[in-house]
Structure 1
């Protein structure tokens, strides 16, 4: 029987190795995960549905993660016949009709699925405080949020319930929680991961599924296993010809040229903690022989964020129509949370021409970043502008909700200012992550700093499309240094 400390010391790769060698069974791992969950989840609210008995009885494949317990994010990572709420009170009781392709691939990798994690309604926020399930809390300090939208997932890994967890990223939803909870969070290149069935373009290509992990090698091994050329997908990227897990430890063949910026792309403030975290990494890279240079990428961040919100509004408006058709009635503001309502109202007035021009703005930004990467291997920024916000800080009050309802009704002809103002407090915390979603580039948040308030904050690296190997090599190099700051914590342990 594994002790708690033994369980917490293992990453997913090591767990699978022990199962393969007969040192432990997958049932022992599931039981250890369950015991840890029972200890910390009442405080953290990271896990919303359990399937531990299913996991104990699950036949697992002999893949690289054979027998390892894994939690799924309850928004797009579905198992047929099981709950899929997407954090929405309107979806309470909704049952998935099929396994997602990602879940099928994860099953092939050998994972056993132990439950589902909390997420904000439809993944729209960088915090995890849905009305349906209540807030998830940060294991480093339970008065703070773990971020979002993969906040339940981040809290589950940071507290040691599982070593790696299902997550997704449509605007930073892997990288923001990674920064706030001290984890490694990689968003792969657009077209690298499986999608669907029934969805060919997640948020028009902005969103992708992957994981959060404590070790770089876990993400590298899984990236090898999940990368796919999927005929029915809207976007494709050629398979990597090497092996990520092997190549991440290879030295760089020549010094890297690294661009960086510590300025918010939307002109908001950036904390000294975020700047210090970035500077620590830059100093380390210079001592390793790499060349670093501050660079302005030339992209109008405010204008690009407006296009991001316009996409959100179109997606939420279409989703609302689907739900209304299914229910046979119109939705009201009482049915959905305020962000969903305002976005879906705004989307009703967006013309096809406006939506098409908006997507063209994504392509323009991608072209500018391609120019940057013609000259520089990597582009570094803070992962977030601040450490994690307090629980409740970014949730709108009832009075604010009523104001927003009136504002979007009044300004439907020109909704972007309303959308921008609604999200600005949240955007101030995380202005750096959305760019990679719109350009399709891979990006990763790396846990390299603990701020004076005792909370972690990460540094983000972006590479050109298809170059996840560079990000993994950089992260592995940092992981071997004194900068890496990953520990298992829980609210009850620390506070």
Structure 2
């Protein structure tokens, strides 16, 4: 299959071609592998090539399922593929080879996806850029001097470059929405408990969730339908919806009440182009018949952020402590990156009492934000504080890391900690040609309203054919 034909289709479209016998799973795989060979040396999006393994599996048994034969990539964090290393972007885990698949990988295989590689991620998913020492810098296909975002940066870079139409991703503070926004993609962060992390434990006090970055809305919905299966013992879970999410895409959303803000929740202000993009999106929603009003997001954001920082830091400290026990020696500063070590040191100071109080502050913030959704169906705000930032800008000076971090991603972490579903939609581009994502948030467990709205926006302002030329 020629690449130009391959890129015309989303994952659902490619699966349809396979089902009709117009192309084989093997042909799709070879097209994806050829595209990877062409662009990956410039992007470093895919860091583990599993093409030979995928060829053998596809030859041994034709894939079946709703996405049968579609090439797919796993993020090198959170999703376990038996017999292959899951490094988490760290040399510390380079020999971390699981014996069994995780629940989400099992579901992907049952859906018929052909997994042929793993994608780049910052060490332990801690940054909104993808520049790990171990795996190397990942670049944005729209401008290779800029970041694709993080921590699912490799996934977004690969999708934006046309290697695959969709790829696995995860989001603990914005790690689906940030790279999707930076790379001109659709990115849905599901509700807490929607997708199981089994057999691993909860991530960052329940803030983390797995799903995907995609070019089309329907791919995101079909993929979420495939994996939203509660597993025995999950600490948080939501039952699969009565109506599949795939059926929500294309359904009229009705007349929604949409509150919008041009605020940067965790920073002084948005880049002017991002602020204007919010206003433009608000006008678009109004033109589609929705009631659109400016709002203020309530809640003690500073207390939530401080608490979330403690939870993340304590989690990092626990990870390094467990690795040290496994190795028979303590992990040292020489084993990990500077930020990871600093987070672990902070985590060692977090007492049990402060951790519990921190969770209480996070839950209080969630209750405060939920009040907004008694009046409004959806909240609209900018996904990022600016378009994609230059490679190295965030990490060049450790003293400026924290303010620059929230200048870039001021609006995503809040909704990890409330647990609500949130999506980024590529509705705008900067004057320099970089994508600008708009974030839409719904009430807990209400992905359906977001998928209906996203389908409407996709029809009103199509983005599928607007691709990075690399």
Q: Give the TM-score normalised by the residue count of structure 2.
A: 0.97
| Shift, 1:197, TM fit | 0.7
| Shift, 1:335, TM fit | 1.0
**Whole-Å Cα distance in 2 between the matches of residues 60 and 313 of structure 1?**
44
Find the partner of 1:481 among 453, 456, 460: 460
Find the partner of 1:432 among 411, 419, 425: 411
Could you list the runs of 5+ residues in structure 2 that have no partner in the other structure? none
| Shift, 1:245, TM fit | 1.3
Q: Deviations over 1:296-327 (max 9, x none)?
A: 12223222211111111110010010011112
* Kept after mapping to 1: 8 A contact 2:271/2:386: yes
- For 1:407, the equivalent position in structure 2 comes to none
- Greater alpha carbon shift after TM alignment, 93-102 vs 210-219: 93-102
Residue 305 of structure 1 aligns to a residue whose secondary structure is helix
| Shift, 1:60, TM fit | 4.6
**Whole-Å Cα distance in 2 between the matches of residues 424 and 89 of structure 1?**
27
**Whole-Å Cα distance in 1 between the matches of residues 416 and 118 of structure 2?**
24
* Kept after mapping to 1: 8 A contact 2:168/2:211: yes
* Kept after mapping to 1: 8 A contact 2:267/2:410: no
**Whole-Å Cα distance in 2 between the matches of residues 26 and 218 of structure 1?**
18
| Shift, 1:422, TM fit | 4.1
1:94 and 2:96 matched: yes
Q: Deviations over 1:43-77 (max 9, x none)?
A: 00000011112112223542110011000000111
* Kept after mapping to 1: 8 A contact 2:366/2:419: yes
**Whole-Å Cα distance in 1 between the matches of residues 66 and 277 of structure 2?**
33
Residue 426 of structure 1 aligns to a residue whose secondary structure is helix
- For 2:362, the equivalent position in structure 1 comes to 362
What is the Cα-based RMSD across aligned positions, in Å? 1.4
1:6 and 2:5 matched: yes
- 1:86-485 matches, cutoff 5 A: 86-199=88-201, 201-253=202-254, 255-397=255-397, 400=398, 422-482=401-461, 484=463
Residue 385 of structure 1 aligns to a residue whose secondary structure is coil
Q: Deviations over 1:390-433 (max 9, x none)?
A: 01111245xx4xxx7xxxxxxxxxxxxxxxx6422112101100
Provide closer, same or farther for how the CA distance between residues 71 and 146 of structure 1 changes in structure 2, counting only shifts above 3 A. same
**Whole-Å Cα distance in 2 between the matches of residues 81 and 229 of structure 1?**
24
- For 1:415, the equivalent position in structure 2 comes to none
| Shift, 1:96, TM fit | 2.2
Could you list the runs of 5+ residues in structure 1 that have no partner in the other structure? 405-420
Residue 480 of structure 1 aligns to a residue whose secondary structure is helix
Q: Deviations over 1:370-401 (max 9, x none)?
A: 2111110001110101000101111245xx4x
| Shift, 1:486, TM fit | 5.5
**Whole-Å Cα distance in 2 between the matches of residues 291 and 151 of structure 1?**
35
**Whole-Å Cα distance in 2 between the matches of residues 262 and 324 of structure 1?**
45
* Kept after mapping to 1: 8 A contact 2:148/2:157: yes
- For 1:412, the equivalent position in structure 2 comes to none
| Shift, 1:231, TM fit | 2.3
Residue 427 of structure 1 aligns to a residue whose secondary structure is helix
Q: Deviations over 1:175-210 (max 9, x none)?
A: 0001100000000011110212142x1221100110
**Whole-Å Cα distance in 2 between the matches of residues 99 and 381 of structure 1?**
37
- Greater alpha carbon shift after TM alignment, 187-196 vs 116-125: 187-196
Q: Deviations over 1:193-251 (max 9, x none)?
A: 0212142x122110011000000000111112211122211001132111211222111
Q: Give the TM-score normalised by the residue count of structure 1.
A: 0.92
| Shift, 1:32, TM fit | 0.2
* Kept after mapping to 1: 8 A contact 2:122/2:129: yes
Residue 374 of structure 1 aligns to a residue whose secondary structure is coil
How many residue pairs get aligned? The number is 467
* Kept after mapping to 2: 8 A contact 1:448/1:485: no
* Kept after mapping to 1: 8 A contact 2:301/2:365: no
Residue 462 of structure 1 aligns to a residue whose secondary structure is strand
Moved over 4 A (4+): none
**Whole-Å Cα distance in 2 between the matches of residues 446 and 306 of structure 1?**
28
| Shift, 1:337, TM fit | 0.7
